[in-house]
Amino acid sequence: MSDEFLSTSWWRYDRYEVDRLYIRPAPGARLRRYDPWQENTAALARWRDHEPPYITLARLGDEYDNGLLFGSLSKRTSAVSGVNYVGADEKLLEAVGDWCSRYGLLGVLLTGLQAFTTAARYRPEAAAFWGESARDLPTTRTFELTAGQWRLCDTILSAPWLGRPTAATGELLDQEVARKAFSQEPGLPGALPEPGLALRRNYHSFGAVVSWRLQPLDNWAAFFPDLDPREAATFDYPAPLSEAFGRLYAEPLEVFLHHARIFAVALRNLKHPLPPVGAAMTAEPDAYLETLRRLLAFVTPDLRSDPDHPERLTAQWSSPSLLSTLAFMAYRDLTGGGRVGFCRRNACGKVFLARRADQEYCSPRCKATAKKRYQRHPEIAQEAIRLSKQGLSVAQIADVLLLSEKRVAAWIESDAREDERSTERDHQSGGQ
């Protein structure tokens, strides 16, 4: 698969503000569209030690997980909005803001979203015939994801019992009446969600029996904090991935960190798989891989016209969200020779992408710091040699002492050579 075919599109602001409830654009921040895949590829070509965004996201997930585990963070629910908020320290909030300023929000709401139909309202007729002026007709608007693109479908409700034929532009219909008319409309695909509903595909609840579910649009209030929550079910949402959508969209901090943790757990279990626990895990013995598989399922092949030769088509891949794009990056790296590593420096332990077989530190700085530690503390080498003589393998010693296997093997080989030289000297002395 050639990298030239890999192209995605996403929105990001140049600055975000993060409180304990939301990640949202800072006042006066500029919204720009960019290509996460091509930007990551270009950065890797310029800087050999460039870290892909899914790795730095996983580190945020690890920090969040450790904070919950050791009690420095907490989750609560706002009595006003009903949104979970995080009792996080300022350092984590700043790190989340910096990550989002570089890559944008994850697009959690769009991940798994297949179609949604906004509340029925009166809209101008698409075309007028024989010189007639356009009328306002009862209409539903459905957005459906097809091959990475959001397709708009307006349906004029033709049921004769709907009432007055015209009304003011934008006026809402009674939604129960509209749903009844929508369900009886001839020629509509049966899979389209009714007005006020969204069709979603589950991607992270492994014990769920149903993969698809209908979600009321009033559940979207958490992602549009500037809207009155009472209007979430009937709001006229713009097309996903449009600039108008990007300007309205925000993400709850707890939701963002939860998905960062999904990457952290998936990568950590790739390195150190956990045994299955309970009935749900028995059904999904490789649940950590299933997380990435389900996110990858939303990335689809696509076609586009060649700008230099309009008669030709070029191949590309399309992703509905940054979250799925990051899963695709991990897929490409981990099936292309890369592996998940955890820094061997005792005080670090960060997850990193190892592009070389002998890479055991997350950065040159950690490698240099660890080397100084060995030079200042020769007793560490002595302990490694002692454990080796007790029968522990190089890998086991490295795990116990949080050292690189290469370093442990070098100490053991050096000690073995010294033993051989000592034995040879003893033979020579005995012979004399």
Mark which of 194, 222, 242 sits at the end of a domain.
Answer: 242
Residue 340 lies in a domain: no
- Confidence class of residue 238 from pLDDT cuts 50, 70 and 90? very high
Q: Does one domain contain both 178 and 193? A: yes
Residue 392 lies in a domain: yes
User: pLDDT for 122-176, tens place per residue?
Assistant: 888 764 444 455 677 888 899 998 877 888 888 887 765 555 555 677 788 777 7
Q: Cβ(33)–Cβ(20) under 8 Å?
A: no
Q: Does one domain contain both 234 and 140? A: yes
Mean pLDDT over 399-424 rounds to 75
- Confidence class of residue 236 from pLDDT cuts 50, 70 and 90? very high
Give the chain's domain count.
3
- Confidence class of residue 42 from pLDDT cuts 50, 70 and 90? confident
pLDDT at 285: 47
- Confidence class of residue 76 from pLDDT cuts 50, 70 and 90? low
Mean pLDDT over 420-427 rounds to 62
Check whether 357 has a pLDDT greater than 60.
yes
CB environment 398-412: b (16+ within 10 A), e (fewer): beebbbbbebbbebb
Q: Does one domain contain both 78 and 182? A: no
pLDDT at 56: 93
Residue 216 lies in a domain: yes
Mean model confidence pLDDT for the chain: 78
Residue 343 lies in a domain: no
Tokens of 35: 């290509």
Residue 342 lies in a domain: no
pLDDT at 69: 55
Check whether 281 has a pLDDT greater than 60.
no
- Confidence class of residue 277 from pLDDT cuts 50, 70 and 90? very low
Check whether 282 has a pLDDT greater than 60.
no
Q: How far apart are CA 143 and CA 114, in angstroms?
A: 8
pLDDT at 256: 93
pLDDT at 43: 86
Q: How far apart are CA 185 and CA 198, in angstroms?
A: 18
User: pLDDT for 184-195, tens place per residue?
Assistant: 776 665 567 888
Residue 269 lies in a domain: yes
pLDDT at 235: 92
Supply the CATH number for residue 374's domain: 1.10.10.60
Q: How far apart are CA 264 and CA 168, in angstroms?
A: 51
Q: Does one domain contain both 237 and 137? A: yes
Mark which of 305, 334, 363 sits at the end of a domain.
Answer: 334
Q: Does one domain contain both 124 and 237? A: yes
Q: Cβ(250)–Cβ(24) under 8 Å?
A: yes
CB environment 100-133: b (16+ within 10 A), e (fewer): bbebbbbbbbbbbbbbbbbbbbbbebeeeeeeee
Mark which of 289, 308, 334 sits at the end of a domain.
Answer: 334
Question: Residue 400 — left, alpha, or beta (φ > 0 → left; ψ -120 to 50 → alpha)?
Answer: alpha
Q: Does one domain contain both 21 and 132? A: no
pLDDT at 288: 63
Q: Does one domain contain both 130 and 220? A: yes
Q: Does one domain contain both 81 and 202? A: no
Check whether 30 has a pLDDT greater than 90.
yes
Residue 344 lies in a domain: no
Range of the domain at 359: 349-431
Check whether 409 has a pLDDT greater than 70.
yes
Shortest CA distance to 156 belongs to which of 204, 130, 120, 198?
Answer: 120
Q: Does one domain contain both 271 and 361? A: no
Q: Does one domain contain both 66 and 166? A: no
Query: What three-state secondary structure class fits 53?
Result: helix
List, as one string, the DSSP characters of 97-114: HHHHHHH----GGGTTEE
| More confidently predicted of 2 and 57 | 57
pLDDT at 323: 93
Residue 341 lies in a domain: no
Mean pLDDT over 35-58 rounds to 87
Q: How far apart are CA 278 and CA 300, in angstroms?
A: 34
Q: How far apart are CA 119 and CA 236, in angstroms?
A: 7
pLDDT at 345: 76
Q: Does one domain contain both 148 and 236? A: yes
User: pLDDT for 85-120, tens place per residue?
Assistant: 566 677 888 999 999 999 999 999 999 899 999 988
**154: Cα within 13 Å, side-chain hemisphere:** 14
Highest mean pLDDT among 217-221, 420-424, 425-429: 217-221
Which ranges constitute the DSSP H helices of 284-404?
287-296, 322-334, 364-376, 378-389, 394-401
Q: Does one domain contain both 136 and 201? A: yes
